[in-house]
Structure 1
Amino acid sequence: MPGWRNADAWPRPLVWLAQGLGMVWALPVSVLGLAVGALALTAGAQVYVSRRAHALVFSRVPWGPGGALTLGNVILDTGECLTRLCHTYAHAAGHTQDPPIVLADHERAHVYQTMLLGPLMPVLYWLSGGVSVHNPFEQAADRYALSGRGWWPWA
């Protein structure tokens, strides 16, 4: 069997099994996202399924500074749609001149991270620096959004 990092070469049923197990493992975090999303619906948010991101997406969430927050297989987005462009954390901090990335790709990396780390993800994320250019989870999500590879923070 190919290495775990090269999931593109895995047989399709094995990929589905791994994704299903990841969703179950991420469920405690996803429940929190669902609770916040349900509250957002009462304030005018909308919800749709993103098969590509393996997530339920709540758009037009009326709280927060802008952007999106991933909690398990739930993405809370303050905008209309995740397909909009945004800057990487390093670009926004003036460290690089990266091209714009698609927000959906960045958030998908966080979904994958949580599917692997499950309920440990929020703790490890905040211990790694929270919402910051120095957080390896954010660096990996930006790397994935730029290249389509490297969503694991300690690769």
Structure 2
Amino acid sequence: MCALGVLWTLPNTVLGLGAGAAGLAFGATARLDRRELAIVFQRWPWGPGGAMTLGNVILHTADSLDAPCFTYAHRAGHCEEPAVRIGDHERAHVLQYMALGPLFLPLYLLCGGISVRNRFERAADRYARTGRGWWPWG
């Protein structure tokens, strides 16, 4: 399943590798992270902070995916939840990409993009909190 998922999401991964490679000239570093099932570009120089996943690539603006972050529901004021590890949240997106391949981005955008309403983000938060439930229709 893992190898098939990597192949299935390869078009998304190529986008991530292009974005990550552009960041290398501005101080980003790259490494293979087996735990996250991804190539991680740390200190990626663009964006408001945090991380973004494209296939098996995670673009992260800080030094470590061990950084805590609040869930989307917590930030939106829907509930009080403890912070989660950002790497766990992004790993859920890697798994979603591997299952949905080229369908991920259109479905993600149809579900609301970067928002607490997006079932992909809620599933990634659930996975980061519990270690289970990364599938957005679960």
- TM value normalised by structure 1: 0.88
Equivalent position SS for 2:125: helix
Shift of 1:48: 1.0
Among candidates 21, 28, 31, match of residue 45 of structure 1: 28
Distance in 1 of aligned mates of 2:102 and 2:7: 10
Structure 1 vs Structure 2 CA RMSD = 0.4
Which aligned pairs between 1:97-116 and structure 2 lie closer than 5 A?
97-116=80-99
* Corresponding residue for residue 62 of structure 1: 45
Mind listing any 5+ residue stretches in structure 1 that lack a counterpart? 1-17
* Corresponding residue for residue 120 of structure 2: 137
Deviations 1:115-155 (A, max 9, x none): 00001101100110000000000000000000000000000
Say yes or no: does 1:21 pair with 2:4. yes
Distance in 2 of aligned mates of 1:66 and 1:127: 23
Aligned residues between the structures = 138
Larger Rg: 1
Question: Relative CO higher for 1 or 2, CA cutoff 8 Å, sep ≥ 6?
Answer: 2
Among candidates 75, 87, 99, match of residue 58 of structure 2: 75
Equivalent position SS for 1:70: strand
Give the letter aligned to residue 20 of structure 2: G
Give the letter aligned to residue 60 of structure 2: D
Distance in 1 of aligned mates of 2:96 and 2:123: 9
Distance in 2 of aligned mates of 1:50 and 1:141: 18
Among candidates 56, 70, 74, match of residue 87 of structure 1: 70
Distance in 1 of aligned mates of 2:8 and 2:25: 28
Among candidates 35, 44, 50, match of residue 18 of structure 2: 35
* Corresponding residue for residue 15 of structure 1: none
Equivalent position SS for 1:48: strand
Shift of 1:49: 1.1
Distance in 1 of aligned mates of 2:66 and 2:31: 13
